[in-house]
Amino acid sequence: MVFLHSLLRYAVLFALLYAVFTNLRGWLIGRPILTGERMITIVAMVLCHVQLLLGAILYGMNWNALKSRELDPFHKFVKYEHAGTMVLAVALITLGRVLSKRAQDERSKQRQIAVFYGIGTLLILWAVPWPFRDIGHSLGWL
């Protein structure tokens, strides 16, 4: 389960980055959003929700290790920073999709997606325990 959660992060990040840059470009040059571009924003949001669900399952499976008062730095990171930031990031991405659906013109749709998905992507990049960070140096890339 941890392997699947770690592997899926690359699909999530690729889909989010593609959605952000595509909608940012469309917003800046003022062209209408295309069907394929709209589809990648939906796919990115669904992948984020699946990843969050897998993370919640892993969190529940490790509940006994996480409920201790004396946690090592990695478990403290997972319990507070990683979990909280990921929930916030997925909420922002979902909010961006909902607001873009309600927007009247194409430029504001793309702006909503570019801004909210961009902030969500930055939060996700910050909260992942990458191997080059102190917190994830023993975890590896997968």
Total domains present in the chain: 1
Structure tokens belonging to residue 91: 């909420």
What values do phi and psi take at 138, rounded to 5?
Answer: -95, 0
Please check whether residue 141 lies inside any domain of the structure.
no
**DSSP 8-state symbol, 129:** -
Q: What is the pLDDT of residue 65?
A: 73
Residue 120: domain span: 2-136
In a domain, 45, yes or no: yes
Residue with tokens 């659906």: 101
Q: Which of 73, 80, 86, 76 is nearest to 134 (CA)?
A: 73
Give a yes or no: residue 102 inside a domain.
Answer: yes
Question: Mean of the pLDDT values across residues 71-82?
Answer: 83
pLDDT tens per residue across span 96-138? 999 999 988 888 899 999 999 999 999 999 999 888 877 766 6
**Residues 6+ away with beta carbon under 8 Å from 3:** 142
Q: Would you say residue 112 lies in a domain?
A: yes
d(CA 62, CA 71): 13
